[in-house]
Amino acid sequence: MTGLSGGEAWRARDMQVEWSEALPQEVLAAMRADLYAQFVDGYASLPPDARTRLGIEQVDFGAGVLALVRSLPHPAFNLVQGFGVTSPVTEADLDALLGAVEQSRPPAWGLPLDPRTRPMDLRIMLEARGLREVFREVTLYAPASAARQALASFTRALPEVKMVGPYNVLDVAMFITGQFGLPSEMTELARLGLSDLGWMGYFVPGETGVSSAGFLTVGGSAALLHTAATRPENQGQGGQSALILRRLQEGLAQGCEHFLVDVEAGQDNPSRRNLERLGFRPVFEVPFYTAAEPAD
């Protein structure tokens, strides 16, 4: 059993978190981008044969980088990075981006816009070029004080949480792949992330195997909670709450002062409700743009 089980649990609905430590949106956005950059840097460090199997490639087009994982045909795995961050996007920059996409022909790609992206009317520029928003995430944030308060506010028992190790890394990787409905290459990527790239994984064991799982990536004083899933038949049993708390506990133990997590935008989201009950608050939204599908 972990320290997040036994006779303790949280009183999250009663939490009153002081937000005097709240950081500006631009600072939080930069922190988030640095954490995601760790994934791209990690992918680039994988052995050449793994990069080839997974279709890992970075295309530098001057105004940004197209970071691809071709084996996973979803915009979230094939992202444009650094676009409109160091300087406002120009029409020439858009030409360079669309030229890189045309030349590299990724199976999918996404351009995220965060609070640092300039100019302010970039959405209009994108839509004029035939790009459209394909999905939107909301970034939630909790300072270390909120994490400590969540961990100190237990009132009921939560499921046992275990850390992923060599003997169960493949089981957890396969579980994540299945729950997200991704191609089998995701199993290899998740396994490599957990075994070689420094991702920390946690899971809740069930009667038939893994019932819930979630990952944590730490960078300096910040931590990103990511890649969380629960079997439909195990929802509502406290697995994700236990995993959130376990990852907060680990992040605090590593000296983290800031915790970030991205979820699908919108209020009707169980993951968002769980996180907000444990002290997280929305700080900004991130729309993702890509080229519109041609009309039939």
pLDDT tens digit sequence for 154-169? 677 899 999 999 999 9
Query: pLDDT at position 49, please?
Result: 97
Please report the beta strands in 153-273, taking only residues with DSSP state E, as ranges in sequence order: 162-163, 200-206, 209-219, 222-230, 258-264
Strand partners, 265: none
Percent of the chain whose pLDDT exceeds 90: 85
Q: Over 80: is that where the pLDDT of 251 sits?
A: yes
Distance CA 114, CA 6 (A): 41
* For residues 37-66, average pLDDT: 97
27 contacts: CB under 8 Å, gap ≥ 6: none
Q: What is the pLDDT of residue 21?
A: 58
Strands 111-112 and 281-291: antiparallel
Say whether 70 sits in a helix, a strand or coil: coil
pLDDT tens digits, one per residue of 109-144: 999 999 999 999 999 999 999 999 999 999 999 999
**Which of the listed CATH numbers 3.40.630.30, 3.90.950.20, 3.30.43.10, 3.40.50.1970 matches domain 12-23+139-286?**
3.40.630.30
Q: Average pLDDT, stretch 237-255?
A: 96
Per-residue burial over 17-55, b = 16 or more CB atoms within 10 Å of its CB, e = otherwise: beeeeeeeeeebbbbbeebbebbbebbeebeeeeeeebb
What whole-number distance in Å separates Cα of residue 232 and Cα of residue 54? 28
Question: CATH 3.40.630.30 residue ranges in the chain?
Answer: 12-23+139-286
Please state the rounded mean pLDDT for residues 50-63: 97
pLDDT at 267: 73
Per the prediction, the chain carries an average pLDDT of 91
Of the pLDDT bands very low, low, confident and very high (cuts 50, 70, 90), residue 17 is very low
